[in-house]
Chains A and B, each alone.
Chain A
């Protein structure tokens, strides 16, 4: 554990904290521009919300404008906007009237369930297959896997989802095509995301394992009489694990992007689905809340990966 504290970890954690702040600022600035670009006068809309549509008058709108400082120049207004964001005061959804924090918290649970099960499943599919291919580079499995991986990388995840829906739920009638609530509903979106993630992690594991088995220490392990399984367990797995895990962190970006599209495709009540609906309804507080939650999720998961990598390889963090 001493290596953890003295090693590169504190600097990495600091960088991740900085990244989290940058996510918040980016989301804040973009949604601020979004609000300013909306047609109409914001003061009238807020006045309608406060006093009811029948009581909106120019005087009431002026009062709101004075009260909230809406006539401030843009840079000051932006600072006020970011200050609200910093205090995690996200406001209320314009559509449902509930606080954004409540809504996002509810949807995030669903998304987390989907993301965690998809990531778990992809780890069961991708790295083992990749490792098997890497132990015998140029073999049948290696070539076949390369072909599948290139194909999967060439299409956006929703295409895979559409093909799976057509095969498994429309043709074979095995699984429900959309919705949530039961285990059966989880399988298709989970499988779609997991397959897309596994296609990439299998290639990375293959390269990592092929690299390790070609190294001098691995050959020495074999020479001193260790069996194929034992030498892989003792010398191969941990060394190949670090690049695979680092890449797994990169994949969380893809996972979040996949969430937006896959949740919409399968009508999964998660945060990506909420974001798309908020964009369609121009529900700015919800857009901000959902985007913030997804951005911070990526940063948080990458921090976890950093710590695990530092535990696996105390020599120095991933570059």
Chain B
């Protein structure tokens, strides 16, 4: 891969640029067009896009209930990326901390935490989210809890393995012999090695969140209408394929761009 500025590959820059564009779309659209994504207008069913920049309702066309596709897509992007962000952050913090503790201390702490991780890891990820979501169907909180429960694992496993390896490194051993404190050890020796891996995992976790949310929405066990969510929008628009192929194409295209931006940003799979 071509190395460029700040040690990021061209591939990662492309991912970051794409993600920024999507963020700008998601949060910028409501600033420019104040159209409610849930507002129906039955006189405007499946109006094709007219690219009239003055009118936010028909700029990208309307869906089968006459709702503005532009603001619905923006709302769906905000939902997916927002959920991905808080899911990844709440999973990364305990995942990294527990991984450090387990990898550093070893012994029964390590065995206990690893057993817990193995128990969660034993179930396929989507199944875990689905079971948690079954407790409170259609609830955003349940979806979030399920996703965070799934994501912390990857952080824990990778950080634990890295810390186990780093602990034996000569530099760390020397610092221990000098009696340097834990804060300095983490800041000086552990974090610089862990940071790139954690960032890659975060991007993969965000991609997994976006895909799981859409997949569950698509089979109607995820979030419920009238929430604008990419998977739900695809299910809703699928029956109108003949009349309005451009309508179905939009959530599909946004899904592809979202997934692509996060996968490119993640770079190489650390596993």
Contacts across chains A and B counted by CB atoms under 8 Å: 126
Contacts known (A154-B260, A158-B215); A257 close to B134, Cβ less than 8 A: no
**Residue pair B123, A155 in contact (C-beta under 8 Å):** no
Contacts known (A34-B135, A155-B256, A253-B125); A19 close to B118, Cβ less than 8 A: yes
Q: Is A294 an interface residue (CB 8 A)?
A: yes
Mark each residue of chain B from 183 to 209: 1 if its CB lies under 8 Å from any CB of chain A, else 0.
000000000000000000000000100
Q: For residue B126, which residues in chain A have a CB less than 8 angstroms away from its CB? A: 256-257, 260-261
**Residue pair A19, B256 in contact (C-beta under 8 Å):** no
State the CA gap A33–B136 with chains docked (Å).
11
Contacts known (A22-B122, A256-B127, A280-B221); A159 close to B252, Cβ less than 8 A: yes
Q: Is B263 an interface residue (CB 8 A)?
A: yes
**Residue pair B252, A158 in contact (C-beta under 8 Å):** no
**Residue pair A257, B136 in contact (C-beta under 8 Å):** no
**Residue pair A265, B219 in contact (C-beta under 8 Å):** yes
**Residue pair B215, A261 in contact (C-beta under 8 Å):** yes
Contacts known (A34-B131, A261-B215, A287-B134); A19 close to B122, Cβ less than 8 A: yes
**Residue pair B127, A291 in contact (C-beta under 8 Å):** yes
State the CA gap A280–B231 with chains docked (Å).
17
Q: Is B45 an interface residue (CB 8 A)?
A: no
Main SS class of interface, A: helix
Report A1-34 residues with CB < 8 Å from chain B CB: 18-20, 22-23, 25-27, 30-31, 33-34
Q: For residue A115, which residues in chain B have a CB less than 8 angstroms away from its CB? A: none
Q: For residue B120, which residues in chain A have a CB less than 8 angstroms away from its CB? A: 26
Contacts known (A23-B123, A27-B123, A34-B134); A162 close to B214, Cβ less than 8 A: no
Q: For residue B133, which residues in chain A have a CB less than 8 angstroms away from its CB? A: 279
Report A48-85 residues with CB < 8 Å from chain B CB: none
A85: min CB distance to chain B, Å: 14
Chain A residue nearest to B234 in the complex (CB): A162
Interface residues on chain A, number (Cβ under 8 Å): 44
Q: Is A275 an interface residue (CB 8 A)?
A: yes
Chain B residue nearest to A254 in the complex (CB): B124
Q: For residue B118, which residues in chain A have a CB less than 8 angstroms away from its CB? A: 18-19, 22
Query: CB within 8 A of A298: which of B124, B136, B212?
Result: B124
**Residue pair B119, A22 in contact (C-beta under 8 Å):** yes
Q: Is B92 an interface residue (CB 8 A)?
A: no
Chain A residue nearest to B256 in the complex (CB): A155
Chain B residue nearest to A38 in the complex (CB): B135
Q: For residue A101, which residues in chain B have a CB less than 8 angstroms away from its CB? A: none
Q: For residue A150, which residues in chain B have a CB less than 8 angstroms away from its CB? A: 260, 263-264
B143: min CB distance to chain A, Å: 13
Q: Is A113 an interface residue (CB 8 A)?
A: no
Q: For residue B207, which residues in chain A have a CB less than 8 angstroms away from its CB? A: 154
Chain A residue nearest to B263 in the complex (CB): A154
B41: min CB distance to chain A, Å: 27
**Residue pair B119, A257 in contact (C-beta under 8 Å):** no
Q: For residue A216, which residues in chain B have a CB less than 8 angstroms away from its CB? A: none
Q: For residue A95, which residues in chain B have a CB less than 8 angstroms away from its CB? A: none
State the CA gap A156–B136 with chains docked (Å).
24
**Residue pair B255, A155 in contact (C-beta under 8 Å):** yes
State the CA gap A17–B182 with chains docked (Å).
38
Query: CB within 8 A of A295: which of B127, B218, B231, B260?
Result: B127
Report A257-314 residues with CB < 8 Å from chain B CB: 257, 260-261, 264-265, 275-276, 279-280, 282, 287, 291, 294-295, 298-299
State the CA gap A257–B124 with chains docked (Å).
7
State the CA gap A253–B126 with chains docked (Å).
9
A49: min CB distance to chain B, Å: 21
State the CA gap A156–B127 with chains docked (Å).
15
Chain B residue nearest to A252 in the complex (CB): B124
Q: Is B132 an interface residue (CB 8 A)?
A: yes
Q: For residue B219, which residues in chain A have a CB less than 8 angstroms away from its CB? A: 158, 260-261, 264-265, 276
State the CA gap A282–B221 with chains docked (Å).
11
Q: Is A214 an interface residue (CB 8 A)?
A: no
Q: Is B241 an interface residue (CB 8 A)?
A: yes
Contacts known (A27-B131, A265-B219, A279-B137); A153 close to B263, Cβ less than 8 A: yes
Pairs across A and B, CB under 8 Å, 21 listed? A20-B122, A22-B118, A22-B122, A34-B131, A150-B260, A154-B207, A154-B259, A154-B262, A156-B211, A156-B255, A158-B234, A166-B245, A166-B248, A170-B242, A257-B215, A261-B126, A275-B130, A276-B221, A279-B130, A280-B220, A287-B134
* Other contacts beyond A22-B122, A156-B231: 4, CB < 8 A: A23-B122, A158-B219, A159-B255, A253-B125
